Structure 1
């Protein structure tokens, strides 16, 4: 289990991470979200001991991470770092041996990993001869082949098409099912919502969201309303508590100040009977992200 307790890091007068705390349990995926510069990569670098926290603790199974503990860690950096002129199989084997695997065990598993991520290319190819997407798959195999217990993925979906993004999701879920603690960052809220058991959102280094996706969405209440009725745009926007409105033909999407506003609109919309659509729901994670990013700092 990974525990991060009251972590703070400053660079001069800039506070990069401010009193951050979270826990990632075995078999759990935690999404770390926020704008560029929010503190996500700084958090990863402190866990990895690339930089030292000003204060706070990082514990693995109740103790500070040791050099031996880093052998059970898999890290995919945002800036990919493999060797373009080196054979694919040689560099996967090289990095796996740094994590304690034997070369013969790596060779025995390579075909399985190539099949799992549908790598198009030969093991004997140089990395530079593969497409960008397949190079990213090789980096991911390098990260996971030693079956790490703690996995840190910094923007793993960056640049992947939907098919390869789905393969990556399958790989992450496979590692979760093996009992790994996984923490990853992404700007794709659909991926975060689909993958994450829990999530943290940072804004200017501060934690502004912390919980499961359902907990976070439900905390906002059913403030998103989809409606198709005889009410016009002008009539809908005139209701007190309607904050935003979007129109798609005869269908409207409203963002409400509170869920109770929906009852008033429903009464007005149905005064003459049947209407084709009325659906109130919690905002999506993407919508919540945009709301939090747009809020003034407290």
Structure 2
């Protein structure tokens, strides 16, 4: 079954004087899917998010929302968690959440029930009347997250949602984001925490210098950009694996050797050719991580 497209961008361009910040970007976000938008600082991510949120306008191209009455921005159906916190510091948690629900014309009785449920799920039960200024960074992030989803949005933009969260809270956020997607919400996620992006996202838009570098599933992007590597743990200081023509480079750290292969090299054949005298306690084979791909592109090596 094909998921309905909620947002579609076609050949979007944006200039700031002579800087071409966004260059011919096209992509779509579908209901029930989590799409990651990644790129180094200055790549154009924030500009792109501001365009699709209606904060600034594109100079060329189309931004179409296929939900609501027309293709214009349906504000009541959209949730937005910005990277910068924007909560009213002197107000109580529950008042802020209900105010944000009211801004979206969401029924306040339903909002109270959802607020109670979400506050409990995110470990904030009993803090309803606590002022925002009294919260830790992580607690404030939880409140802002609740505010972005209180009205059951059809499309949700999360910009660095895991900022300030401890590992337990990160897992809670991940579970909630997955549940939102399972219930049909289309989600656009921007984060520098590559391991979380790799775990959550169905597909990824990778941009650099305002240009689209890749737009595909995580598996296909890794296949496109990431050669295989083999990690060996053992006492083999005298072995130079780089003498094998299939090896692009080798990294050694203590007893751990990481062998990076050239493109199109299948590592199992390399492993079969290893001498019986080789000592190893651990071995694992995989492709470069999304983090490594990101770093390569940021350094303009890829």
Same fold judged by TM-score > 0.5?
yes
The alignment status of 1:156 with 2:161, answered yes or no, reads yes
Take 1:151 and 1:161, find their aligned partners in 2: how far apart are those partners?
A: 22
89 and 272 in structure 1: CA distance in 2 versus 1, 3 angstrom threshold:
closer
* Residue of structure 1 in register with 2:48 after alignment: 43
Take 1:256 and 1:296, find their aligned partners in 2: how far apart are those partners?
A: 16
Q: Do the aligned residues in 2 keep the contact of 1:34 with 1:201 (CA within 8 Å)?
A: yes
* Residue of structure 1 in register with 2:112 after alignment: 107
Q: Which runs of 5+ in 1 are unaligned?
A: none
* Residue of structure 2 in register with 1:144 after alignment: 149
Q: Which runs of 5+ in 2 are unaligned?
A: 1-5
* Residue of structure 2 in register with 1:182 after alignment: 187
89 and 188 in structure 1: CA distance in 2 versus 1, 3 angstrom threshold:
same
The correspondence for 1:205, drawn from 192, 196, 210, is 210
Output one character per residue of 1:196-215: Cα deviation in whole Å (capped at 9) or x when no partner: 00001110111112100111
135 and 238 in structure 1: CA distance in 2 versus 1, 3 angstrom threshold:
same
Displacement, 1:276?
Answer: 5.2
What secondary structure is seen at the aligned counterpart in 2 of 1:18?
strand
What secondary structure is seen at the aligned counterpart in 2 of 1:16?
strand
The correspondence for 1:66, drawn from 56, 64, 72, is 72
Displacement, 1:103?
Answer: 2.4
129 and 220 in structure 1: CA distance in 2 versus 1, 3 angstrom threshold:
closer
Displacement, 1:240?
Answer: 3.2
Take 1:44 and 1:84, find their aligned partners in 2: how far apart are those partners?
A: 25
5 Å-filtered alignment, 1:143-292, equals 143-220=148-225, 222-228=227-233, 232=237, 235-260=240-265, 262=267, 265-266=270-271, 268-270=273-275, 279-292=284-297
The correspondence for 1:27, drawn from 28, 32, 38, is 32
Displacement, 1:277?
Answer: 5.3
Q: Do the aligned residues in 2 keep the contact of 1:220 with 1:282 (CA within 8 Å)?
A: no
Displacement, 1:246?
Answer: 2.3
Q: Please, which moves more after superposition, 150-159 or 237-246?
A: 237-246
What secondary structure is seen at the aligned counterpart in 2 of 1:165?
helix
Take 1:258 and 1:27, find their aligned partners in 2: how far apart are those partners?
A: 34
Q: Please, which moves more after superposition, 172-181 or 223-232?
A: 223-232
Q: Do the aligned residues in 1 keep the contact of 2:236 with 2:278 (CA within 8 Å)?
A: no
The alignment status of 1:10 with 2:42, answered yes or no, reads no
Take 2:213 and 2:70, find their aligned partners in 1: how far apart are those partners?
A: 26
Structure 1 segments, 4+ long, off by >6 Å, are: none
Displacement, 1:116?
Answer: 1.4
Take 1:195 and 1:260, find their aligned partners in 2: how far apart are those partners?
A: 29
* Residue of structure 2 in register with 1:293 after alignment: 298
TM-score (norm 1): 0.90
The alignment status of 1:90 with 2:103, answered yes or no, reads no
What secondary structure is seen at the aligned counterpart in 2 of 1:53?
coil
Take 1:287 and 1:83, find their aligned partners in 2: how far apart are those partners?
A: 39
Displacement, 1:290?
Answer: 1.6
What secondary structure is seen at the aligned counterpart in 1 of 2:240?
helix
Q: Please, which moves more after superposition, 190-199 or 7-16?
A: 7-16
Aligned residue-pair number? 296
Output one character per residue of 1:215-237: Cα deviation in whole Å (capped at 9) or x when no partner: 11122465212235775466113
Take 1:222 and 1:201, find their aligned partners in 2: how far apart are those partners?
A: 18
54 and 229 in structure 1: CA distance in 2 versus 1, 3 angstrom threshold:
same
* Residue of structure 1 in register with 2:3 after alignment: none
Take 2:8 and 2:286, find their aligned partners in 1: how far apart are those partners?
A: 33
